[in-house]
Structure 1
């Protein structure tokens, strides 16, 4: 019985991953306005009924796509305590990951940019950005507490600036990949934030 349930869950997870992948491909190729549950099902090789069963609506599909594309973008941070080291590793890892960004992450950046003018996307990406900023604020606050970050730094302002910089680099990479050398840039951007925040550089 347990084995059957696990197999059913595995099938469900596989189908959902395929549907999210298909949705991301359609967003990258044709934009969010062309996205429908029927087209996602057709691209993934499933019926529209299965897509509806998994997501229920286009809005829920977009929410799941936004969450899925952020999960695990910078691996190896889970075991680190909040603070300056985790913040700098996130920045370095994020810029480095943009060098090999896949279709899911390209879709996320395109949807994020489009959220400024698309009412169906705005609430999703406000929530995603706030979750990102909350993690960054936690790192800065922890760094202030442990003395590695200058006490005059404002965590909320740093969070806004870091999110803007990282997402902006990502969009530039999408527009002109040859102009954005992520391997060189990751070092300079990480060092900039280290100099800016570190108490030892004050």
Structure 2
């Protein structure tokens, strides 16, 4: 049986995925400061030249890694209309996924925490956080419009609080998984936000 040859686009996509996985592994194992284009290429089984060809610089690699690691963390949300139900599913799914986060998701949390003191990371993660908050604000505003969320709730405040809580839980689990029971916590936190936001 003859295996069909992969197109150039397929080969490029496969190499990029391997390089991003290698970068995530290095961040998790050794921290972001250990990340160099040469080490990423070596970890992935490629040359540094391939890494430079795909990303151009360490900064561009980290930006692409930040986007790749955050995408699709809670599957199925894109099919839901904005509103309270989608926000609660996000909270539940995010905490549940934190309990079994893979290398890419752990790398994202480590990079996010590092961004507080690393000037080259801060703009990337400010942008990623604003995108996350924007989605949360949209859900709260839609919930208010639908009559499901209390009208005295400020969407901006909720977005900041939810993002901080979810990322904080993820970091705590990363630091000491034995003390953070995500299976139980996901229900507790989801129920908290349901009671805090829902019209009585």
**What is residue 176 of structure 2 aligned with on the other side?**
176
The whole-number CA distance in structure 1 between the counterparts of 2:82 and 2:123 is 27
Mapping for residues 54-69 of structure 1, pairs under 5 Å: 54-69=54-69
Q: Does 1:21 align with 2:21?
A: yes
So what's the TM-score if we normalise by structure 2?
0.96
State the shift of 1:55 in Å.
0.3
Aligned ranges for residues 1-202 of structure 1 at < 5 Å? 7-200=7-200
In 2, the alpha carbon distance for the partners of 1:123 and 1:79 equals: 29
Query: 3-state SS of the aligned residue for 2:28?
Result: helix
Structure 2: stretches of 5+ with no match in the other structure = none
Deviation string 1:106-165 (CA, Å, 9 cap, x unpaired) is 110011001000001000000000000000000000000010000000000000000000
User: What CA distance in whole angstroms lies between the structure 2 residues aligned with 1:198 and 1:11?
Assistant: 49
Q: Deviations over 1:30-58 (max 9, x none)?
A: 11111110110000001111101110000
Alpha-carbon distance between aligned partners in 2 of 1:186 and 1:77, rounded to the nearest angstrom: 16
**Runs of 5+ consecutive residues of structure 1 not aligned to the other structure:** none
| Counterpart-to-counterpart distance in 2, 1:8 and 1:89 | 38
**Shift of residue 99 of structure 1?**
1.0
* Number of equivalent positions: 197
* TM-score in terms of structure 1 length: 0.96
